[in-house]
Amino acid sequence: MPQTLVIIPTYNERENIQSIVARVLSAVPGSEVLVVDDASPDGTGELAGALAARHPNVHVLHRLTKEGLGAAYLEAFTWALSRGYDRLVQLDADGSHLPEQLPDLLAAAETADVVLGSRWVPGGAVRNWPWHRLALSRGGSTYSRILLNLPQQDVTGGFRVYSANALERMQLNRVDSLGYCFQIDMLLHAVRAGLRVVEVPITFIERTHGTSKMSGAIVLEAMARVTRWGLTGRGIRRQGAAAPTPSSRLG
């Protein structure tokens, strides 16, 4: 069976990390977990280290400073690829991504290079968000995919599966977005590389413990960057370039 590594970036997630790791290992027996902690002042890294000492399938990368989601994932990808993992999963620590839905994403990964857990395809859902945050998130995804000519519906979601081969073809050294734009940037690289990208409907649930790192200012800053990308031709060109592999939806 393919060797699956579930990557969980953390910053001040002490209340959530034990539960989410246990749920991942229960949902996908035989998988392994890599916690990537950005020197959380609340002791998340120490707690993750204690988990790793008790469970051979749990590993921890202790980063020295908080440098953003993208930097954490890129370091984790390098760590995983050097150790021969076949499938790499992105999963939030706060419980918004349900580990119980991970088998559906991994099943789709049997025939796809990249699998997106999608809130905005039929069957997808968001729970417990106020209307303004829902509008901001969906509007940001719609704006980005139209401006950059991406065929996928949910371009900002962070519940994803990448094959090792896909990551090796995506020129990760050219991914320079470290914050909210990271997911869009990664998808752009995947589509440009001609990879097969599949969307699987998921249910996204607002966290119940801890504080969200997302804010309107972060989203607006990301949209400003997407606007620059669109105006400078960084998006997928409609003409004069090889057509990307079409996206599809499962579920």
Residue 247 confidence (pLDDT) above 60: no
- Global pTM? 0.88
**Residues 100-138: pLDDT tens digits?**
999 999 999 999 999 999 999 999 999 988 887 788 788
φ/ψ of residue 72, rounded to 5: -65, -45
Those residues with Cβ within 8 angstroms of residue 146's Cβ, 6 or more apart along the chain or in another chain: none
pLDDT band for 240, please (50, 70, 90 cuts). very low
For residue 241, the model assigns a pLDDT of 38
**In the predicted model, is pLDDT for residue 1 greater than 80?**
no
| Per-residue pLDDT band at 212 (split at 50, 70, 90) | low
More confident residue, 100 or 175: 100
**Mean pLDDT across 181-207:** 94
Q: Is the pLDDT of residue 5 over 90?
A: yes
CB of 234 closer than 8 Å to CB of 186: no
Backbone angles phi, psi at 107, to 5 degrees: -65, -40
Residue-wise pLDDT for 73-86, tens only, equals: 999 999 999 999 99
Q: How far apart are CA 146 and CA 58, in angstroms?
A: 39
pLDDT band at 248 (very low <50, low <70, confident <90, very high): low
Neighbours of 215 (CB within 10 A): 12
Q: Residue 239 pLDDT > 60, yes or no?
A: no
Distance CA 167, CA 165 (A): 5
Mean pLDDT of the chain: 88
Contact 86, 4 (CB under 8 A): yes
Cβ atoms of 117 and 101 within 8 Å: the answer is yes
pLDDT band at 251 (very low <50, low <70, confident <90, very high): low
Percent of the chain with pLDDT over 90: 69
Comparing 6-10, 95-99, 211-215, 241-245, the range with the smallest average pLDDT is: 241-245
In this prediction, residue 210 has a pLDDT band, given cuts at 50, 70 and 90, of low
Q: Which domains does the chain have, with CATH numbers?
A: 4-249 (3.90.550.10)
- Over the stretch 179-192, which tens digit does the pLDDT of each residue have? 778 999 999 999 99
Question: Does position 16 have pLDDT exceeding 90, yes or no?
Answer: yes
Q: Which of 7-11, 159-163, 227-231, 236-240 has the lowest mean pLDDT?
A: 236-240
DSSP result, the chain: ---EEEEEEESS-HHHHHHHHHHHHHHSTT-EEEEEE---TTSHHHHHHHHHHH-TTEEEEE-SS---HHHHHHHHHHHHHTTT-SEEEE--TTSSB-GGGHHHHHHHTTT-SEEEEESSSTT-EEES--HHHHHHHHHHHHHHHHHTT---S-SS---EEEEHHHHHHS-GGG----STTHHHHHHHHHHHTT--EEEEE-EEE--SSS-----HHHHHHHHHHHHHHHHTT-S--SSSSPPPPPPEE--
Q: Does residue 9 register a pLDDT over 90? A: yes
Task: State the residue for tokens 């990368």.
Answer: 61
